[in-house]
Amino acid sequence: MDYKIIADSCCDVSEEMKKETGVELVPLTLRIDDKEYVDDDTLDIKAYLQAMKESKNAPKSSCPSIQDFLNHFKDSDNIFVVTVSSKLSGTYNSAMQAKSIILEEFKNKFIHVFDSMSAVAGETLVHLKIHESLKNNLKHTEVVEKVTSYIKEMKTFFLLENLDNLAKSGRMNPLVAKAASILSIKPIMGDDNGTIRLVDKVRGYERAFQRFVEIIGEEGSHLEEKILGIAHCNCIQRALKFKEQVMKRYSFKDIVVVEMGGVSSTYANQGGLVIAF
């Protein structure tokens, strides 16, 4: 079956993954003060992080346009799309509107848009599940059923060192963020039906790091059947240390480590880790 996998740029993938799955990323647009950035391979993440640090204003992101998705929908008859949670971005709606438009003209095409109900490493794993299902020659309806079930069962967690951007953007109460910084409290957050919930709060990063490892065992089940995705914001050694700690305690089927792109880095910020399984 001729097919294509498409994701927005909040789906963090390695070059090896791109070659393996053929995923095409539709970039979001980022803005810091008066400067605009496109979240694609040309974005210098380190320079972008520095610009965020120096700005007093919250960075902003804009979802891809309907036309951006239409441009990716035209040259394949079977298309599977995964987007960042519809409760966090308008990307899902853009993709759905593009789907409606193109199916009016090309009625024989198959397009399904998955709302990942997650972000970052969560999207990474969903796109891998789509690829795995297609490699196993599942039919359209079977792929949709299997991946939808996977999304419902998947868990995503965040350990962020810096909460500034979450507070600036309104995704976290500024007073809570300020108090956490003063008291050196590191909140561990997780997904909650497509939004973000507080899972735990720990004083000091090292203790929070260890708690982050423990939460996998408390929240997960049948880990030997699952892949763990680890996304890091410019902190590869921290991500590898986390992977090492996880391997000592759990028996995941596989563990993948990816570097965050621009959108993920906007909210995770320097030193942030996002995991999904």
- Domain extents for the chain? 4-28+63-153, 156-276
Residues 6+ apart with CB under 8 A from 141: none
Separation between Cα atoms, residue 25 and residue 225, nearest integer Å: 27
Q: How confident is the model at residue 196 (pLDDT cuts 50, 70, 90)?
A: confident
Which value, in Å, is the radius of gyration of the alpha carbons in the chain? 18
Separation between Cα atoms, residue 24 and residue 5, nearest integer Å: 6
Run of H or E residues at 158:
strand 156-159
Q: Give the three-state DSSP class for 210.
A: helix
Is residue 39 pLDDT above 90, yes or no? yes
Taken in order 202, 204, 207, 208, the sign of the CA dihedral is positive
Written as six digits, the tokens of 64 are 């891809």
Q: 117 forms bridges with which residues in the sheet? A: none
Q: What is the pLDDT of residues 102-120, one digit of tens each?
A: 999 999 999 999 999 999 9
Separation between Cα atoms, residue 234 and residue 110, nearest integer Å: 38
CATH architecture of 4-28+63-153: 3-Layer(aba) Sandwich (3.40)
pTM of the entire predicted model: 0.94
Run of H or E residues at 201:
strand 195-203
Written as six digits, the tokens of 228 are 């763990």
What does pLDDT average to over the chain?
94
What is the rounded average pLDDT of the residues 235-256? 98
Q: How far is CA 65 from CA 27, 70, 91, 104, 132, in A?
A: 10, 9, 8, 18, 28
Taken in order 15, 18, 19, 20, the sign of the CA dihedral is positive
Is residue 215 pLDDT above 80, yes or no? yes
Strands across the sheet containing 195-203: 195-203, 185-192, 156-159, 273-276, 227-232, 254-259
What pLDDT was estimated at residue 229?
98
What is the rounded average pLDDT of the residues 134-157? 97
Q: How confident is the model at residue 169 (pLDDT cuts 50, 70, 90)?
A: low
Separation between Cα atoms, residue 27 and residue 3, nearest integer Å: 20
What pLDDT was estimated at residue 239?
98
Other C-beta atoms closer than 10 Å to the C-beta of 52 total 21
Task: Please give the CATH number for the structural domain made up of 156-276.
Answer: 3.30.1180.10
